[in-house]
Structures are given as C-alpha cells and as structure tokens.
Structure 1
Amino acid sequence: MTSLPWSAGTWTTPPVAVDDEGATLRVTAAEGSDAWRVTSYGFVHDTEHTLVAPFPAGSAMEVVFTADFDQQFDQAGLFVTAGADRWTKAGVEFADGHLQLGAVVTGPLSDWSVAPVDGWRGRRVRVRVSRAGDALTVRAGLDGEELRLVRVAPFPPDAEALAGPFTCAPTRAGLTVTFHAWAAGPADAALH
C-alpha cells in the first residue's frame, strides 16, 4: 500500500472543522451528518463527511483511525461511492451501547450488518476495501493485527468510483475523529 496525503481528496460534505497539520487528520462532524437510504427508517441522508479520491477497479484502499466513540451512531471508516444511490460505508459505529464493526451497502436501498467489537474502543482500527471484478471486499481489524473479513458486496465493475475516510455524527455535535493513515494499492489477491 502507498500512503495518500490528505490533500489528495476532496470532501463530499465539508465537516465542521478539519485539522490536517502533520501526519494525522482530525475531522469534526456536523450534528445530523449521516449516510442512509430509506430502508426501515424511511429517510435519505447524504451528508456524510468523506474525503474522496479515485478508486479504480483492481485496487484497494484503507484507512486507520481511533475508534473513540461513545454516543449513539458515532461512526468512522472508509466510504466508497459510485453515485447517490450506489455506495458502501464500512467501519466502526457506536450503536445500542456497544462499539460495532459493520458495513452499510446501498444500491439503491441501504442495508446494515454489524457485530460487536467493544474491545476496540479507544484503539486504532484499520479498514480496507478491495475492488475486484464485480465485488467490494471489506476487511477490518485492530491496526497491526490480522484483518478479518467483514463483507463481500456487489459493485458494478465498470463504475467510476471514489473512496476515502469518512465520519458521521447522526445524533450529536462535537464528534472529532482522528485518522492516522490513508493508503491505496492493488486489490487483495484472494478472498480468503
């Protein structure tokens, strides 16, 4: 993987504040920011704060961030988009009293899968998404440890896509997330 500078991306929705001095990126999310389309909740939210760069077929992208969340739906990770109704967000979210590892796949309606990872709270997490063939493969784990398979999701092989670090704060003001790394490289060679 090759490190990407924070200046390599542009914001889908500008956050409240950004500090990209030095090696880290600190992003303060707007209250009510989120990404979701219709399913179960009935609303469309497209106000996520994502720093996007090109994400071509046959490549992978990853981010490292500190999962220091304690309020309902605080979240951060990696966002991949090929348009308003074709996107995936993968990362860590605080939901129902627990830190959860999960992914939302949208095309055109959102779905959500989660699994508790309470032991990750306050620690650095790495999320990687590989784009190969007709799929996105999501992997995640504590930074420096082996990544685990989170999700395999359909994705159009010919779509022009963008991806990068994201955060949202659907229920509160003041969430600031620290990203430590952003990198890109070739897609993972194998699914397992």
Structure 2
Amino acid sequence: MRKERISWSSGSWSTDPLSCCEQDGKLVVEAREGSDFWQTSLYGFQRDNGHALLTGWKREDAVEVSFRLSGFDHLYDQAGLMLRYGPERWVKAGIEINDGVPHIGAVATERYSDWSLAPVPEWQRQNITVRASRLQDAVIVRARAGHGPWRTIRVCRLHAEYNWQAGPYLCAPTRAGFQVAFIGWVWTSPDIDVHTEP
C-alpha cells in the first residue's frame, strides 16, 4: 500500500493549541482547557475552538493519523482525525474518554452534531490509527490499535462539492494539561469497498 508522509509543518491550526513542538519526528501538542468541537445538539451550546492541524484533502487519497493513547484520563479528553469544511460541516473521529473509559467514536456535523461511540479499554497505552477514505458520496472512517485489524466506526455522507481539509485534532473540554503525542500523518491508498480492509 502506498504511504506518503505529511509534514507537520504543512498544516495550519484551526485554533492554536497552548503548546506544540516536534520531538524525534513526533508532534507533542497541549490543548487549551475548554477546547472542543460541537454544534448545538443535546447540550445546546456551540464550540469551535478545538485544535485541528489541517491541510487540503484530495479525493483520491485516504488519510491516516496516528497517536499514542496515553495520558487520556479526564472526561472528554479526545484526539484523532478531523475532516473539515467549516464550523458547521465537519467529522471528527478518534478516542474520547467517557465515564472513565476510552471510547472509539465519531461526531458527524451538518449544522447539528451527533455522536457515536464504543468502549475500547483494551486499547489503552497503544498506538492508535484513525483513517478516512472517500467512496462515492460518503466517507468511510476506520480505526485500529497497533497493527491489529481495522474496525469500521462510521460511514457518513461527505459533500463532494466542498473543499475538505484533513488532519490531526485534539480537545480538552474539561481540564488543563492534556497532551497528545501524534506519531504519524500520511496520505495513503483509498478503500475499494466498505467491507474490504485497507
């Protein structure tokens, strides 16, 4: 499978994090307290101050973001992959702490946000990779721990006419001091089918 590394310096932050530095090829980022992405549903509030490092996303490429699942221990600590057109049109997918347990999940937003998730306590302290690939009018989002099998976590519509961006993201809605070590960001070969592993 083709893999093309994306330089950390090629992206631009949607909102600057508290700190960000490259260490031995990794990007270590600290989120600002209260950072989040959410639009209205259930909670009634709108947040668009999370930290997403974004670059233009060509339709023919799949994109993958990898990070270490370590130090996630407060409610809603989260990191993963962001697909974004604007404040009201985006998809975020990755790990989020809910009721003390890491969950793999996704939020798809078209003016209003939704949220799907499943517990993955066995993924703790592993390297997590989240992947997105476009197929027809949709995006297939998958994730895995280490070199384990891919788990399909979301298929949702993605408007082809929009100029989407993609890249790593993190948020710390409830606390200060949350850091994430991102270890990979690549373009790669797209999925050929939702039922066929990459």
Q: TM-score range by the shorter chain?
A: over 0.9
Q: Which runs of 5+ in 2 are unaligned?
A: none
What one-letter code is carried by the residue in structure 1 that aligns with 2:73? D
1:121 aligns with 2:114: no
SS of alignment partner, residue 7 of structure 1: helix
CA contact 1:13–1:47 (8 Å) conserved in 2: yes
Identical positions, percent? 41
1:97 aligns with 2:113: no
Paired with 2:90 and 2:140, the residues of 1 have a C-alpha distance of 13
CA contact 1:132–1:157 (8 Å) conserved in 2: no
Shift of 1:14: 0.4
Partner of 1:5: 7
CA contact 1:138–1:151 (8 Å) conserved in 2: yes
Shift of 1:58: 2.7
Partner of 2:64: 62
Shift of 1:22: 2.6
**1:74-89 correspondence runs (5 A):** 74-89=77-92
Match of 2:166 among 163, 167, 179: 163
TM-score, scaled relative to structure 1: 0.97
Q: Which runs of 4+ in 1 moved over 2 A?
A: none
Shift of 1:185: 2.4
Paired with 2:61 and 2:193, the residues of 1 have a C-alpha distance of 13
Aligned length, in residue pairs: 192
Shift of 1:158: 1.6
Shift of 1:65: 0.4
SS of alignment partner, residue 82 of structure 1: strand
**1:1-192 correspondence runs (5 A):** 1-68=3-70, 69-192=72-195
Deviation per residue, 1:36-71 (Å, 9 max, x gap): 000000000001111101112232111110112110
CA contact 1:71–1:94 (8 Å) conserved in 2: yes
Deviation per residue, 1:128-160 (Å, 9 max, x gap): 011222111100011212211111011101210
Moved more, 123-132 or 71-80: 123-132
Paired with 2:60 and 2:194, the residues of 1 have a C-alpha distance of 13
SS of alignment partner, residue 122 of structure 2: helix
What one-letter code is carried by the residue in structure 2 that aligns with 1:63? V
Tell me how large the CA RMSD over aligned residues is.
Answer: 0.9
TM-score, scaled relative to structure 2: 0.94
Q: Which runs of 5+ in 1 are unaligned?
A: none
